[in-house]
Amino acid sequence: MDLSPSAILQVVGGLILLTFAADRLVLAAARISKRSGLSPILIGAVVVGLGTSLPELLVSGLAAAEPNGMDLALGNIVGSNIANIGLVLGLSVVFSPIVGQGEVLRREGGLMLVAMGALTALAWDGRLSLVEGVGLGVGLLVALALLVAWSRGGGADIDLDEIGRTQDIRPGVESLFGVASLGVTLLGAQLLVTGAEEVALDLGVSEALIGLTLVAIGTSLPELATALAAARRRENDLVLGNVLGSNLFNALGVGGVAGIVGDGVFTADFRPSMVTMLGIAVVAAVLATIGNRLDRWQGAVLLVSYPAILFLL
C-alpha cells in the first residue's frame, strides 16, 4: 500500500502549525490576562476555550443543517467532550500536574457538569427541538455571566520574566496576535485531520473507525495543542479554563446551534454515549477532590480511560 506524499505533508505541516500557533496563543492569552487583571481561568474559558471550540461549532452546525445530520452533530459534541476530559486534560496533567485549584475545579467543573447534564436531559428522548436549542443558548449566556462574576478579584499570577512587565504589554497587539494564532491553530488542526484521514484510508482503516476517532479527536486538536502549550508554560489556570470552557461551549453553544438549525431527530441511540460523557466528567471531578490537586497518576487514569471508552462505544 502506498501512502500519499501530500497526506504525509499535511500531517507534518498541521503538527508544526498546531505546535507554534498554540504556544503563541497561550502567550497572548497570558499577557492579556496579566495586563487586564482578569482571572486566567476566565481568559482560558471564554477566549481560549470558546475559540478552540470553533471546529465543533462548524462541524456540528453544518451537519445539523443537513437532512438526517443530527447524528453527526450530537456525536461530535459528545465525542469531543469525552476527548477533552480523557485526552486533553489527562495528557496535560501527565505533562504538568495541576495543584491548588480545588475551588476552581469544584465551581467551574460543577458548572460544566450542569451544562452537559442539561444537554443529556434534553436529548434523552432522541430529539433536540428548536425551543430546546434556544434554551441551551440562553444557558450559555447565564454560564458566561457566572464565569465573569466568579473571576472578579482573581487577577493572573504569572511569571513576569516569561510574560513581560505589565506596563509593557499592549492588549491591542496581543489581541491581534491571539486572533491570528487561533486562526493558524484551527488551520493546523484541519490540515492534520485531512491528512490523517487520507493516510487512514490508504492503510485500509474503515470509514466507521475514522469517523468515530478522527471527527471527535480532530475537532479537539486545538484544545489539545493549546492545553499542552499552556502546560509547558505551567499556566495551569489556562489549561483548566480551556477544557472547562470548551466543554461548556460544546454542550450549550454547539448543542444550541444544532437544535436551532437541525431537524431535531436522532436516528441513533446516544444515551449510552451521553452517560459515558457524564461518567468520565464525574471521575475527573472525584480525582480532583483527592488532595486538592490533579497529579500525574490521576492524569494517567483519565488518559488510559479514553481509548477504553472508544473501544466500548
Three-state SS sequence of the chain: CCCCHHHHHHHHHHHHHHHHHHHHHHHHHHHHHHHHCCCHHHHHHHHHHHHHCHHHHHHHHHHHHCCCCHHHHHHHHHHHHHHHHHHHHHHHHHHCCEECCHHHHHHHHHHHHHHHHHHHHHHCCCECCHHHHHHHHHHHHHHHHHHHHHHCCCCCCCCHHHHCCHHHCCHHHHHHHHHHHHHHHHHHHHHHHHHHHHHHHHCCCCHHHHHHHHHHHHHHHHHHHHHHHHHHCCCHHHHHHHHHHHHHHHHHHHHHHHHHHCCCECCCCCHHHHHHHHHHHHHHHHHHHHHHEECHHHHHHHHHHHHHHHHHC
Cell of 85: 476530559
Give all domains of the chain, ordered by start, each with its CATH number.
5-312 (1.20.1420.30)
* % the chain with pLDDT above 70: 78
Cell of 103: 475551588
Give residues with Cβ within 8 angstroms of 153, minimum separation 6.
Answer: none
**Contact present, 100 and 292 (Cβ < 8 Å):** yes
Choose between 30 and 114: higher pLDDT.
Answer: 114
The CA–CA distances, whole Å, from 112 to 6, 116, 146, 258, 275 equal 39, 6, 12, 19, 15
Which among 216, 228, 201, 246 is positioned nearest to 309, based on CA atoms?
A: 216
> Mean pLDDT over all residues of the chain?
78
Return the pLDDT at 66.
76
Q: Is the pTM above the cut of 0.75? A: yes
How does pLDDT run across 195-214, given as a tens digit for each residue? 766 766 777 765 445 545 66
On the question of pLDDT at 9 being above 80, the answer is yes
How does pLDDT run across 48-100, given as a tens digit for each residue? 777 777 777 777 787 788 777 788 788 888 888 999 999 999 998 898 888 76
Return the pLDDT at 159.
45
Return the pLDDT at 246.
87
253 sits in which H/E element? none
Return the pLDDT at 155.
45
